[in-house]
């Protein structure tokens, strides 16, 4: 917009001074500078807003990850406590003494509750502990 169109150079060279006069009268150059400055302000604002939105999303994702880690720790701690409880209960029945045939199996967590398989003094059995 600030350059002189080819029409004034090729077809009618006598119109070039008129074109320059109209440009100066309408203050084209200062208006374009103002528009460019406003566009820069809008671009800066858009960049700030997009950064803010990205920060909010990252904060939200970070909190979700923290909550999931805490839940994982709670579930693992509960499983360990229940396993120790089962081991203590099976060891308490025998008075804390273990014989040659005494063994305790693995307890697995399932959706229905804590399932345990064990063998005490050569007698095997399957039991469950509902949560």
Q: Is the pLDDT of residue 106 over 60?
A: no
Distances (CA, A) of 78 to 5, 66, 102, 128, 129: 79, 18, 26, 16, 13
* Measured distance CA(91)–CA(84) in Å, rounded: 10
Residue 94's pLDDT band, with cuts at 50, 70 and 90, is: low
Question: Chain-wide mean pLDDT for the chain?
Answer: 76
The pLDDT assigned to 118 comes to 47
Tell me the C-alpha to C-alpha distance, in Å, between residue 12 and each of 2, 20, 84. 19, 13, 99
Tell me the backbone φ, ψ of residue 18, rounded to 5 degrees.
Answer: -65, -40
More confident residue, 77 or 98: 77
pLDDT band, very low/low/confident/very high, at 122 (cuts 50, 70, 90)? very low
**Cα 1 from chain centroid?**
46
Query: Is-contact 52 41, C-beta < 8 A?
Result: no
**What is the pLDDT averaged over residues 3-18?**
70
Helix axes 16-26, 28-93, angle to 10 degrees: 60
pLDDT per residue as tens digits for the range 24-63 = 888 888 999 999 999 999 999 999 999 999 999 999 999 9
Least confident span in 10-14, 30-34, 57-61, 77-81? 10-14
């Amino acid at each position: 917009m600030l350059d002189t169109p080819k029409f004034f150079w090729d077809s009618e060279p006598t119109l070039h001074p008129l074109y320059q006069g109209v440009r100066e009268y309408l203050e084209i150059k200062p208006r374009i500078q103002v528009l460019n400055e406003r566009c820069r302000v809008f671009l800066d604002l858009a960049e700030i807003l997009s950064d803010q939105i990205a920060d909010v999303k990252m904060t939200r994702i970070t909190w979700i990850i923290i909550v999931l880690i805490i839940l994982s720790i709670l579930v693992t701690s509960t499983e360990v406590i229940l396993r120790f409880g089962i081991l203590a209960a099976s060891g308490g029945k025998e008075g804390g003494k273990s014989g040659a045939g005494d063994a305790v199996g693995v307890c697995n967590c399932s959706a229905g509750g804590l399932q345990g398989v064990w063998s005490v003094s050569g007698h095997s059995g399957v039991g469950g502990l509902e949560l």
